[in-house]
Structure 1
Amino acid sequence: MSTGYRSIPSVEKLLSDSRVEELIDVYSRESLVYLVRRSLEQVRQEIAEGKPSPSFDEMVDSIASQAASLWRPKPIPLINATGVVLHTNLGRSPLSDEAVEAMLQAARGYTNLELDLADGARGSRQSHVESLLCQITGAEAALVVNNNASAVLLGLSAIANGKEVIVSRGEAVEIGGGFRIPDVLRQSGAALVEVGTTNRTYLADYESALTQDTAAMLKVHTSNFRVIGFTHEATVEELAALGAGRGTPVLHDQGSGCLLDTTRFGLAREPMVQDSIAAGADLVFFSGDKLLGGPQAGIVAGKRELGESLEKVPIWRMISTPVDALEKRARSWQKSVGDTAQVVQGLSAIGGGSLPGESIPTWLLSIGAQGTPEGAQGLAKRLREADTPVIARIEDDRVLLDPRTVLTTEEAALLAALKSALGA
């Protein structure tokens, strides 16, 4: 037997170590037994691969580290300093304070989720949101499901199962997470009828494809996919007029759930839900997260305007923050960090599949690699490993932090992480 194997301690010896016993008080003996056995199995595997056996203290340190990582609450809060407002990997939209408080109130006990308090009979969970959605969008009815893909699938299954749905060839796209329009149609039981070309589709293309087997015409927001130049598409208004004359419903996968005029922020105009309904779309599908600033949800609305979003919904507060205010914050960060950092102009991205290709001017805190062998990647790694992880972006071997996506309540933690990472 290899001398490496002889050095492996028993489970009981590790469990009886005072440092592991302290962990048992926190995580329970059963949990630590599992973790110790898993660690010893890993040591045996490493020895079999020709690696040296770790010392007893190294094994204890590894077990403590694994315990802290394994039972740390997940996901963990972190600071988004990338400048990507709707960062899919970081949970997209932060919730407003009002939304968080409402969730806390509901989560602490029982609620009237499906109870009509007026008569004591069973109610519908949709009743809590339908009237609000109708008021905001101008729709006659609305419901909420798990996500926008579910909303589209539900609508198509109800309307077009066993029949045909007409889609512009330029809109038969794949969006994030494998959401492919042809696949969704197939799952709903509908047959896809593509019309037009990738870059130009006219109303006449839809009209010529209409048959007695047509269940609907579907218009799709193409998210991050955009064709620029020699292009044309039929509008929702045109399709609605055609559909009304032929008795064919028009469905609009609006995507992002935009309820505000994005041109107010110097961005391209994003289709708004209320505009689609006012234009005559029979069903509009959109996300409840992303630009709506809520939890993941998909909404179906079948026709009005919003007011408080700029102040209360974090992502709109981020988008609408004046550039001079961002410069002031970045210079404040620089003053705190020191001469290792510079304040430079840059761009923030909207992200999340919304407003494809759109960016907003910003000011960035730019930090060099400090002469370390790891370069900017090493500094970014140290920031990610902070007590409150900080996620930055890297360009030209410099770490860039964008104040646009950093909440003011996170600044102290961000600066602490920066100073620690730079000190390292």
Structure 2
Amino acid sequence: MSGFLVVPPVFKTGVRRHPSQAGSIPVHLRHDRPGMGRSPTDQEANPVSEQDPRRAIPRADALLADPEISAYAEPLGGEHVRGIVASATAQARAGSLAPQSVRGRVLEELAALSRSATSLTPVLNATGVVIHTNLGRAPLTAAAREALLAASGYVDVEFGLESGVRERRGRGTVDALLAAVPAAQDALVVTNGAAALSLAVTALAQGRDMLVSRGELVEIGDGFRLPDLIESTGVTIREVGTTNRTHLADYAGALDERAAAILKVHPSNFRVSGFTAQATVGECAALGREHGIPVIVDIGSGLLAPDDLLTDEPDAQSTLAAGADLVICSGDKLLGGPQAGLIFGRADLVHRLRRYPLARAFRAGKLTLAALEATLRGPRSRVSAYLHRAPDELRGRVEGVRSAVLAARPDLEDVLAVVPVEGAVGGGGAPGMPLPGWALVLPEHLAGPLRRGSPAIVARVEGGRTLLDLRCIEDAEDPAVASAVLAALGRD
């Protein structure tokens, strides 16, 4: 979601509202039942003749259903879009705006509001990659977006309304995390996954050694390397095992008075197959307990509980149940929440991290806490929905978009094709696991016009073709996709 930190201006529409709905949806946009004491609409109060030019004013519901206008509902919020529509139609009824100019004025004001709110441009993700880091990773649920707005003012983020004194930060969010991961005794939220790892290794092993398998010393996005991150905290990495095989004996042989912890890391974005071996979390946990040192497991992608689709992906609940002392992951990947780093585990260790001075620099703000809690307590995340979409459903939708385009451009019958494709989880999750789906084939050179259109659509360019994969696009946005394709063809 973009632009959620900006509160748009209040639009003075001049439209009367029901006394019980002050500040809510304008009366003429609601469907009141007869006899409920509603106030008359402007058109009821000022009836127009058959010849009155105001009869040509577009209906509000028709404007709100317009694909180009409705595309702004997600980034700006439905209430803001309805307010702009109400303002434009009110100006037309007052005679200060020509009826034929209403739609253009609405789009103009929506575009201006979008630009003023943020430099970020909302896009439709047609790449087939669900957790696309370059496109902001997980898209938030409607509940999370509402929570961001609710938390944008003063809130009791660190204050007890009953006690009247300062209380622990983000209590409700921690409660929601513990409900989602019952094996955890306590939880902590920080700014991102890298911050969670930095805090854990610094608080538990600064000035000492941390044991890490050579096969788990990974490089993540944009060239950041795990060894560099760890060593920047003042912790010395002691490599054990080999790239493809690390046994429990390798960890045991490296233990001495300088060893402060064992770290296991999710092999983000790659798989090692063939002649391989890795000590399990349970084995490392038993060794750690024997020598009195904690075992930290970075599972990366933020899967909190097992998922039948992601059978090879580690999850927080199972990892803690296997004996890990701390589990670290991201909140904006498979969980489908805002950017955050999550730490689960033993109460004494989480408390130690919470009180460590560096925790202040990494603590999560009220907006993150609110969106995260709403994601945890709300309905299924959009990430989960996109991952579990059935190929047949996707094929039907792609064929529907193709039919809509051909209805206006029948000459493209032989150009537009529907083909099977493989999407991806993305974000380092389930590397190598395909997501079967379908895509609309377009000429390669249309990728640029689609990105620059409204709405902006980011598609996959592959094999000299532009592929539109609808996996990460809501069903209701299919008409907007068809319109964008036609617009891109028109600029061709």
Change beyond 3 A, Cα 1:128–1:155: same
CA contact (8 A) 2:302 2:316 kept: yes
Q: Tell me by how many angstroms 1:68 deviates.
A: 11
| In the alignment, structure 1 residue 124 sits paired with structure 2 residue 165 | no
**How well do the aligned residues superpose, as a CA RMSD in angstroms?**
2.1
- Helix, strand or coil at the partner of 1:292: coil
| Aligned residue in 2 for 1:350 | 425
| In the alignment, structure 1 residue 98 sits paired with structure 2 residue 165 | no
5+ residue gaps, structure 1? 1-66, 370-375
1:211-246: CA deviation from partner (whole Å, max 9, x where unpaired): 011100000111113211111001101100111111
Change beyond 3 A, Cα 1:86–1:284: same
2:234 to 189, 199, 202: 189
Q: How far apart, CA to CA, are the structure 2 residues paired with 1:308 and 1:321?
A: 21
CA contact (8 A) 1:175 1:222 kept: no
1:309-355: CA deviation from partner (whole Å, max 9, x where unpaired): 99620010011111111111011111111223111111111111111
TM-score (ref. length: structure 2): 0.67
1:241-264: CA deviation from partner (whole Å, max 9, x where unpaired): 1111111110101111112434x2
Change beyond 3 A, Cα 1:383–1:309: farther
User: Residue type of the partner of 1:396?
Assistant: G
1:406-421 map, 5 Å: 406-421=473-488
Change beyond 3 A, Cα 1:224–1:419: same
1:136 to 180, 193, 198: 180
TM-score (ref. length: structure 1): 0.77
User: Residue type of the partner of 1:352?
Assistant: G
1:323-338 map, 5 Å: 323-338=391-406
| Aligned residue in 1 for 2:316 | 273
CA contact (8 A) 2:180 2:376 kept: no
2:257 to 205, 208, 212: 212
Q: Tell me by how many angstroms 1:187 deviates.
A: 1.8
> Any runs of at least 4 consecutive aligned residues in structure 1 with deviations exceeding 4 A, and if so which?
67-72, 307-311
Q: How far apart, CA to CA, are the structure 2 residues paired with 1:223 and 1:383?
A: 31
Q: How far apart, CA to CA, are the structure 1 residues paired with 2:376 and 2:260?
A: 38
Greater mean deviation of Cα atoms: 405-414 or 229-238 = 405-414
CA contact (8 A) 1:256 1:287 kept: yes
Q: How far apart, CA to CA, are the structure 2 residues paired with 1:78 and 1:356?
A: 25
1:5-404 map, 5 Å: 73-107=118-152, 109-137=153-181, 138-262=183-307, 264-265=308-309, 267-302=310-345, 312-338=380-406, 339=413, 340-367=415-442, 369=443, 376=444, 378-404=445-471
> How many residues matched?
344
Q: How far apart, CA to CA, are the structure 2 residues paired with 1:244 and 1:164?
A: 17
CA contact (8 A) 2:140 2:337 kept: yes
Q: Tell me by how many angstroms 1:395 deviates.
A: 1.9
User: Residue type of the partner of 1:354?
Assistant: G
Q: Percent identity?
A: 46
1:405-424: CA deviation from partner (whole Å, max 9, x where unpaired): 11223222211110111122
5+ residue gaps, structure 2? 1-111, 347-374, 407-412
Greater mean deviation of Cα atoms: 129-138 or 190-199 = 129-138
